[in-house]
Amino acid sequence: MITFEAKTRTFFLDGKGVTYAFFINHADFAEHLYFGKTIGHDDLSFTRASGSRSTIAKVPGHDDFSEEDGSYVQFPAELSFFGTGDYREPTLHLENQSGDRLTELLYAGYDLLPEKPPIPGMPSMTGGETLVLHLKDKVTGFAADLYYTVYDDADVIARHIVYKNEGAETVTLRRAYSFAMGLPQNDYQVLSLYGAWARERRIDKIPMHHGVISIDSKRTTSSAELNPFMALLSPDATEEFGEVYGVSLVYSSSFVLKAEGTIDGVTHLTGGINDFDFAWPLAAGETLATPEVVLAYSAEGLGGMSRAYHDAYREHLINPRYVKTPRPLLINNWEGTYFNFTNEKLMAIVDAVVGTGIDTFVLDDGWFGKRDDDSSGLGDWIVNEKKLPGGLKTIIDHVHSKGMNFGLWFEPEMINEDSDICRAHPEYVIRVDNRHPCYSRHQWMMDLTNPEVRDYIVTAVNKVLAENQIEYVKWDYNRNVTESFSKALSREEQLGFAHRYALGVYDLCERIVEANPGIFFEGCAGGGARFDPAMIHYFSQIWTSDDSDAEERTHIQYGTSIVYPLSTMSCHVSICPNHQTGRTTPFATRATIAHLGATGYELDTTTFTEEDKEAVKAQVADYHKMEKLVLEGDLYRIDNPMESNFFSEAIVSKDKTEAILVTYRRMASVNNQIKRVRMAGLDPEKRYEVAELGQTVSGAALMQIGLVPNWSGDFAAVEYHFKAID
Ligand code: DGJ
């Protein structure tokens, strides 16, 4: 519910268990007051800082303001601007026609909308009640609409800004972030998710300091290196206790999120589209919409914040067609064959899993153009009949005859120099004339800022999808942009390249993913290099990492779950020794860890023994029993593999009648200390049948005392299933 208290000019945004409050202060500035647990609607002016302050620039036109009245630099901001006394990181930085860079965006009214309108050209949360706060610069006419949406089923607030040039002259936006917010302290721990190829979403935690902590990407993708996410943990916060604030950006291109510890002992947060290598001219009458940021609050530690994001994204962001439906349980041929396959080999891989419950076969890279390795063919989305005589039909018919679905790999944004499309249209490549474009995995990138290029891709991909009976698509993306430049853009538009590329990606997704509602789409980016909230809007699940080693996966999946629901993580059982690490882990462990997501298999199944096949059959049956929990349940992280020898996670149904606990020990030792795993998230009052114990135990005992798993050997996993009996 959104309320405006006219007397105090305070906006109260009440969500599920949170209140967000700001007011229009005596300078007409939108001043942040509060984000946290639900509170009443009192006059909150008593919470503002008082006492003598240092010499500061007066608010222009308010020479009568006392030190107590403060100045722009001291007001916790909903939007901060530059040039009139505020030296914090501005949310907006623009250049007026004269060359001056001043803005003063002050209160100009508000609207309440029953339904949040979509953000043009970009994915965002669906949502109900929305406040639009209008701010305007009286001198230039430049304006900003700040959107705030509350949710009664998740502890988050969604925000974005639409910048509007209502003046008479063109301005240039040198920075156009999505939000600003104040937090009351500056002694937080700042948590971010960093990584690399095959080592995605590790957890970094550093203390706030005086100055700016910045998390960003300059890669024209959200990146494996830093995810578009930041959490601020109060000093005493743990996994299950204490206050945590989350900042998650629904965006897939170069971004920045900043936390600035100010001399006043508070924190100023802002961020959005990365303003490095950015400028956006806005002519009179034009607008620029910014990506959405989803702010979460938890009083139940980091775990509570994760559950808030999982609820919000499952209910309001992920494609509703597939978010809660059982996922395809697939066999993918990539690690089984790489580029080296024939129809016969693919059919044998399929035949080997008939009867196991695996229901989908996905043909990965190598089926199109001249593609026997990664040096050629990308962009030629025409089946390679030399490799697959009879076209795709032979393998598709075979898969369907076994009662299974068929999936196909594409990498729509890419092009090889050695391809027919590159020979015919060299101008489709992102490059600067007279310079040799960087290769990465021997490939170049398509210029998605050019509508003609997008039309080519849409036509080519949709043709394959229309001419063949395909139920599943894996959309890959294996390199980052270099030479950020487009011949299709004017000189003034070039510095908008990274954002225009993102808009191009979303346009492709609308015209391929949304235009084929009967097909299930999985995202991928050389593993998990574009695992972000915008992508999970289109791709209900994303290949989490090219590293499928079970031990490594405990780290990657643990880190990914900080923001993203388990159901968004594609997790495959692969062969040992593992192709990425060379490590051997038990088959059962690989399956158990892969079950903590959208599970599947990726190996040469023709080497399966009867025993392997029976094991797969049992694993698939087990997964189906827990799939509803994976898709809809609440996640409780218990043991962090990055900090201990163990990894434990529980998933509990919303009504707390069912749960599963997965526990894993990395290295075995003799005479080792007893390890108890305290279950989490159960109802202490309920009694649970624990299948593996053959016993009924109270939720209280399971959570207070814990279980003592009997792991055997290295890399061992033990599962427990709980069912409430009363
Ligand atoms: C990278 C992906 O992450 C892999 O799963 C596989 O699809 C290859 N690309 C194919 O080139």
Q: What is the pLDDT of residues 364-399, one digit of tens each?
A: 999 999 999 999 999 999 999 999 999 999 999 999
* 376, 414, 478, 535: residue to mutate for ligand 1 pocket, most atoms within 8 A of CB: 478
* Pairing of the two strands 472-475 and 520-523: parallel
* Pairing of the two strands 2-5 and 267-273: unpaired
Q: Residue 9: which region, alpha, beta or left (left: phi > 0; alpha: psi -120 to 50)? A: left
- For this structure, is 546 an active site residue? yes
Q: Say how far apart CA 687 and CA 703 lie, in whole Å.
A: 12
CB contact at 8 A, 444 and 417: yes
Q: Say how far apart CA 665 and CA 676 lie, in whole Å.
A: 12
CB contact at 8 A, 20 and 33: no
Q: List Cα–Cα distances, 52 to 49, 69, 264, in angstroms.
A: 10, 10, 12
* Pairing of the two strands 520-523 and 293-298: unpaired
Phi and psi, residue 566, nearest 5°: -55, -35
Give the pLDDT confidence score for residue 213 in this predicted structure.
98
Q: Write 607-612 long-range contacts (CB < 8 A, 24+).
A: 608/352, 608/353, 612/587
513-564 pLDDT, tens digit per residue, is: 999 999 999 999 999 999 999 999 999 999 999 999 999 999 999 999 999 9
Give the pLDDT confidence score for residue 672 in this predicted structure.
79
Alpha helix segments (H runs only) across 515-665: 533-538, 550-560, 587-594, 610-632
Q: Say how far apart CA 242 and CA 105 lie, in whole Å.
A: 35
Burial of 710: CB neighbours in 10 Å, binned 0-12, 13-18, 19+: exposed
CA of 474, closest atom in ligand 1: 7
Q: List Cα–Cα distances, 542 to 192, 358, 561, 609, in angstroms.
A: 20, 19, 13, 30
Give the pLDDT confidence score for residue 52 in this predicted structure.
64
Least confident of 38-52, 149-163, 319-333, 514-528: 38-52
Tell me the CA–centroid distance for residue 476 and ligand 1, in Å: 7
Give the pLDDT confidence score for residue 18 in this predicted structure.
98
CA of 334, closest atom in ligand 1: 6
Give the pLDDT confidence score for residue 49 in this predicted structure.
78
Give the pLDDT confidence score for residue 671 in this predicted structure.
85
Q: Say how far apart CA 372 and CA 410 lie, in whole Å.
A: 15
Q: List Cα–Cα distances, 160 to 81, 116, 369, 635, 692, in angstroms.
A: 16, 11, 42, 28, 48
Residue in 476, 532, 547, 549 annotated catalytic = 476
CA of 525, closest atom in ligand 1: 3
Tell me the CA–centroid distance for residue 334 and ligand 1, in Å: 7
Tell me the CA–centroid distance for residue 444 and ligand 1, in Å: 16
Rg value, the chain, Cα:
27
CA of 441, closest atom in ligand 1: 11
> Which distant-in-sequence residues (6+ apart) come within 8 Å of 39 by Cβ?
19, 21
CA of 546, closest atom in ligand 1: 3
H or E segment to which residue 424 belongs: helix 420-424
> Which distant-in-sequence residues (6+ apart) come within 8 Å of 482 by Cβ?
430, 437, 438, 440
pLDDT over threshold 70, residue 53:
no
Give the confidence band of 726 by pLDDT, cuts at 50, 70, 90. confident
652-670 pLDDT, tens digit per residue, is: 999 999 999 999 999 999 8
Average pLDDT of the chain to the nearest whole number? 97
Tell me the CA–centroid distance for residue 525 and ligand 1, in Å: 8
H or E segment to which residue 312 belongs: helix 301-316
CB contact at 8 A, 526 and 197: yes
pLDDT over threshold 90, residue 188:
yes
* 477, 524, 530: residue to mutate for ligand 1 pocket, most atoms within 8 A of CB: 524
Give the pLDDT confidence score for residue 48 in this predicted structure.
86
User: In a 3-state reduction of DSSP, which class is residue 595?
Assistant: coil
Give the pLDDT confidence score for residue 68 in this predicted structure.
82
69-108 pLDDT, tens digit per residue, is: 889 999 999 999 999 999 999 999 999 999 999 999 999 9
**Helical pair 497-512 and 451-467, crossing angle rounded to 10 deg:** 20
Around ligand 1, the residues with Cβ closer than 6 Å are 334, 364-365, 409, 476, 478, 524, 526-527, 543, 546
pLDDT over threshold 90, residue 305:
yes
CA of 364, closest atom in ligand 1: 7
148-166 pLDDT, tens digit per residue, is: 999 999 999 999 999 999 9
Q: Say how far apart CA 693 and CA 679 lie, in whole Å.
A: 14
Closest C-alpha residue for ligand 1 atom 1: 526
User: In a 3-state reduction of DSSP, which class is residue 610?
Assistant: helix
- For this structure, is 507 an active site residue? no
CB contact at 8 A, 65 and 55: no
**Residue range 265-288: mean pLDDT, rounded:** 98
> Which distant-in-sequence residues (6+ apart) come within 8 Å of 331 by Cβ?
349, 350, 353, 358, 360, 361, 362, 600, 601, 602, 605
Tell me the CA–centroid distance for residue 338 and ligand 1, in Å: 9
Tell me the CA–centroid distance for residue 352 and ligand 1, in Å: 22
Please report, in angstroms and rounded to a whole number, the separation of the first and last CA atoms in the chain: 36
**Residue that is written with structure tokens 């649970």 in the block:** 688
**Residue range 503-509: mean pLDDT, rounded:** 98
Q: Say how far apart CA 300 and CA 106 lie, in whole Å.
A: 36
**Helical pair 587-594 and 610-632, crossing angle rounded to 10 deg:** 20
* 472, 476, 543: residue to mutate for ligand 1 pocket, most atoms within 8 A of CB: 476
Q: Write 650-653 long-range contacts (CB < 8 A, 24+).
A: 650/679, 650/680, 650/681, 651/566, 651/596, 651/626, 652/680, 652/681, 652/682, 653/628, 653/629
* 543, 544, 548: residue to mutate for ligand 1 pocket, most atoms within 8 A of CB: 543
CA of 409, closest atom in ligand 1: 7
Tell me the CA–centroid distance for residue 527 and ligand 1, in Å: 7
Give the pLDDT confidence score for residue 673 in this predicted structure.
82
Closest C-alpha residue for ligand 1 atom 9: 526
Tell me the CA–centroid distance for residue 560 and ligand 1, in Å: 19
Closest C-alpha residue for ligand 1 atom 4: 526
The token duo for 380 is 């030629």
Closest C-alpha residue for ligand 1 atom 10: 365
Tell me the CA–centroid distance for residue 414 and ligand 1, in Å: 13
pLDDT over threshold 90, residue 613:
yes
Q: List Cα–Cα distances, 347 to 300, 335, 362, 390, 401, in angstroms.
A: 50, 16, 12, 14, 11
Give the pLDDT confidence score for residue 385 in this predicted structure.
96
Q: Say how far apart CA 345 and CA 336 lie, in whole Å.
A: 10
Give the pLDDT confidence score for residue 51 in this predicted structure.
65
Interior angle at CA 208, CA 205 and CA 209, nearest 5: 140
* Short-list 89, 94, 34, 116, CA closest to 292: 116
Q: Which domains does the chain have, with CATH numbers?
A: 2-316 (2.70.98.60), 330-632 (3.20.20.70), 639-724 (2.60.40.1180)
Residue in 546, 549, 622, 634 annotated catalytic = 546
* 221, 333, 334: residue to mutate for ligand 1 pocket, most atoms within 8 A of CB: 334
> Which distant-in-sequence residues (6+ apart) come within 8 Å of 657 by Cβ?
686, 723, 724
Give the pLDDT confidence score for residue 99 in this predicted structure.
97
* Short-list 258, 230, 257, 255, CA closest to 244: 230
405-442 pLDDT, tens digit per residue, is: 999 999 999 999 999 999 999 999 999 999 999 999 99
Closest C-alpha residue for ligand 1 atom 11: 365
Phi and psi, residue 704, nearest 5°: -80, -40
Tell me the CA–centroid distance for residue 546 and ligand 1, in Å: 7
Give the pLDDT confidence score for residue 174 in this predicted structure.
98
DSSP bridge pairs for 165: 142
CB contact at 8 A, 294 and 312: yes
pLDDT over threshold 90, residue 67:
no
